[in-house]
Chain A
Amino acid sequence: MKKQDKDAESATVEAMLDAARKTPPPVPERLMARVLADAEALQPAAVTAPARNRSGFFARMGEFIGGWQGMGGLVAATCAGIWIGWNPPAALPDAGALILGYDTAEVMSTTAELTSFGWDVDGG
């Protein structure tokens, strides 16, 4: 092949590539719509502040123990504990006397009130 012909063929290819580069195939509308639908479906949720912004200590504690129902139960149990400690039923032994090692029921009964709250320690 002559050099002139070779150059002409090479120029033809250059011209074809140039024309193709300048006119890329148009993106079909349906493809654009499909891609945007995929993007929406796969997009992670937006990072926003939570709707219930209860970040205070008492709010968090309230949630921790189960809201107002949990708080009500806790208050009731506390009151019952104080009442039993203040005025224990006669049938029950005094836990304080048992721990301090008093053996007899008499001692236990006379010391019951003193040992109930540990006042015997303070009183000498």
Chain B
Amino acid sequence: MASDDPLSVTDDALLVLYANGDPGAARTLTARLLPRVFAHAQRLLGDAAEAEDVAQEAMVRLWRIAPDWRQGEAQVTTWLYRVTANLCTDRLRKRRGVGLDEIAEPQDPSPGAVAQIQDRARRDALQEALDQLPERQRQAVVLRHLEGLANPEIAQVMEISPRAVESLTARGKRALTAILAGRRAELGYDDEKAG
């Protein structure tokens, strides 16, 4: 069966196999797509628990659409990013007005693990900055700079033109820079340069 060699099978072919009852297709698709869906949701929401729920729901929608999926019409990842972003938007609208101070405090690390603390601080600082961006800018920056998508694919996900993507990512990055300005020393970047 085609799913014996998962790396050689495209996402939409795997989806068709899943719809035909292949038991291995779901495992391969989940291993391939869930990390991206979960990471995308977490970066858009800034909340791991909510991101889990969104990722699960996005994958449920994928399983449901499998029997009707038309091979070659759209990329599964593009479709999934769009579904994930829409689910995140719904969540963000519901919690609008709620404070953004729900990011978990760093866990107590092992003694001497300064690098770990610093990495965590940097990730949190970036997430806090992302959370402050307007929704569309955040989505564009995350897709471009964290998920590594090319502008044409981002344009498909967001259903806008590639030029609009360029504009959103440029403005988003400028805004990130402004938000994070002055935190270089706090996040240990001055020390790195000095060292």
> Using a CB–CB distance below 8 Å, which chain A residues touch chain B?
8-10, 12-13, 15-17, 19-21, 23-28, 30-32, 34-36, 38-40, 42-48
Contacts and interface: CB of A to CB of B under 8 A. Distances in A.
A6 to B, nearest CB: 8
A45 B194 CA distance: 62
A42 B60 contact: yes
B125 A16 contact: yes
B110 to A, nearest CB: 18
B154 to A, nearest CB: 15
Nearest to A1: B181
B152 interface: no
Nearest to A46: B21
Interface of B: 18-23, 26-27, 29-30, 34-36, 38-39, 42-43, 48, 51-52, 55-56, 59-60, 63-64, 66-67, 119, 122-123, 125-126, 145-148, 173, 176-177, 180-181, 183-184, 187, 189, 193
A13 B180 contact: yes
B21 A45 contact: yes
A43 B66 CA distance: 9
A49 B26 CA distance: 22
Contact of A12 (B56, B67, B145, B187): B187
Contacts of A35: 30, 34, 55-56, 59
Contacts of A13: 173, 176-177, 180
Contacts of A15: 189
B18 A47 contact: no
A28 B48 CA distance: 10
A4 to B, nearest CB: 12
> Ordered nearest first, which 9 A-B pairs have the shortest CB separation?
A46-B21, A39-B26, A24-B39, A42-B63, A17-B145, A16-B126, A35-B59, A31-B52, A13-B177
A24 B147 CA distance: 9
A17 B60 contact: no
Given A17-B126, A42-B60, A28 B52 contact: yes
A39 B59 contact: yes
